[in-house]
Amino acid sequence: MDFRLRPAEPSDLEFIWHLRVATMRHMIEEAYGWDEATERAYAAESLGGMIVLVGEKPVGVVTLADWGDQLHVVWMAIASEVQGRGLGRALVESCQRQAQQARKPLTLQVLQGNPAVAMYAVGVRGLRAQRSAQAADALAILAVAGRVIVS
């Protein structure tokens, strides 16, 4: 699926919020409990990220952070109407290219129960999954040579 990225703008906040509710609420409620003020703050942090567009329609968001020794996918979400068409995989691969250009590993965390885990399990090239010591309820996906391994 063809897409492009553009920097998020303040006018995107409502889209980002609705995307967070639609894609994350059920998992966050189960893992931690949903606190609307906290989740709105997390959504606002995505204004430092990129909006995913198919044509001119916003369909997703991806936020990367440079943690010095690694690039970290803070949050990536795709609207349900375009899921299952390879867009998530293409976004991860785009993030991997950025990490390779920066000569840094790429990391991300995925809540258990997130359907995106299946995408990593079937092999986005160059990712290895490990349990995260910092977040026992998440998978830390580390970009290293090889296939996906969940330990």
Q: What is the pLDDT of residues 96-109, one digit of tens each?
A: 899 999 999 888 87
- E strands, the chain, are 4-7, 50-54, 57-66, 71-78, 106-111, 127-131, 138-143
Q: Taking all residues of the chain, what is their mean pLDDT, rounded to a whole number? A: 81
Coil/strand/helix, residue 31: helix
Residue 133 in this model has a pLDDT that exceeds 60 = no
The pTM assigned to this predicted structure is: 0.79
Mean pLDDT of 64-86: 92
Residue 9 exposure: Cα atoms within 13 Å on the Cβ side: 4
Please check whether residue 4 is in contact with residue 90, taking contact to mean a CB–CB distance below 8 angstroms. Answer: no
Residue 117 vs residue 47, higher pLDDT: 47
- The whole-angstrom separation of Cα 148 and Cα 129 is 6
Spell out the domain ranges in the chain. 4-143
Residue 25 in this model has a pLDDT that exceeds 50 = yes
- Return the CATH number of 4-143, one of 3.90.550.10, 3.10.20.310, 3.40.1080.10, 3.40.630.30: 3.40.630.30
Please check whether residue 50 is in contact with residue 62, taking contact to mean a CB–CB distance below 8 angstroms. Answer: yes
Residue 12 in this model has a pLDDT that exceeds 70 = yes
pLDDT at 66: 94
